[in-house]
Amino acid sequence: VQLQASGGGSVQPGGSLRLSCAASVLDFDSYAVGWFRQAPGKEREGVSYISSSGSSTYYVDSVKGRFTISRDNAKNTVYLQMGSLKPEDTAFYYCSAKRITSAYSERVYRHDYYYDYWGQGTQVTVSS
């Protein structure tokens, strides 16, 4: 499984970006997906997660109300719409995927140790 993250860039505080995570699999609707980020000198942290069906989502407190995760299984892509960006959102953003069985299609996985596949990431810089 290959994951390609894109959409990062530089933006001023208060601005918006939309990250995309494209997967090279035939059965993308069998994968739960997570977005993580890592800032220089800091540990990697989870940002948002979405179930394989798309019906369940989760956000870390620091991004609630500002970020929206969604997916288009027909396009093998998960999106992270980021708004009201703050300088503390500056980080390298990674998407990750975990293959699950249909019995867990509504479950989100909130820790990095669940995930088997990782993309190469995309840089987000928020600065005035």
Q: What is the pLDDT along the chain (128 residues), one digit of tens a residue?
A: 899 999 999 999 999 999 999 999 989 999 999 999 999 999 999 999 999 999 999 999 999 999 999 999 999 999 999 999 999 999 999 999 999 998 888 999 999 999 999 998 999 999 99
- In this structure, the strands spanning 67-72 and 77-82 are antiparallel
Q: What is the pLDDT of residue 24?
A: 95
The CA R_g of the chain, rounded to the nearest whole Å, is 14
Q: What is the pLDDT of residue 102?
A: 86
Q: Please answer whether residues 111 and 76 qualify as being in contact, where contact means their C-beta atoms are separated by less than 8 angstroms.
A: no
Kindly provide the b/e burial profile for residues 8-26, where b requires at least 16 CB atoms within 10 angstroms of the residue's own CB: beebeeeeebebbbbbeee
- CA 69 – CA 114 distance, rounded (Å): 18
Q: Residue 82 corresponds to which amino acid? A: M
> Which of the 8 DSSP states describes residue 89?
G
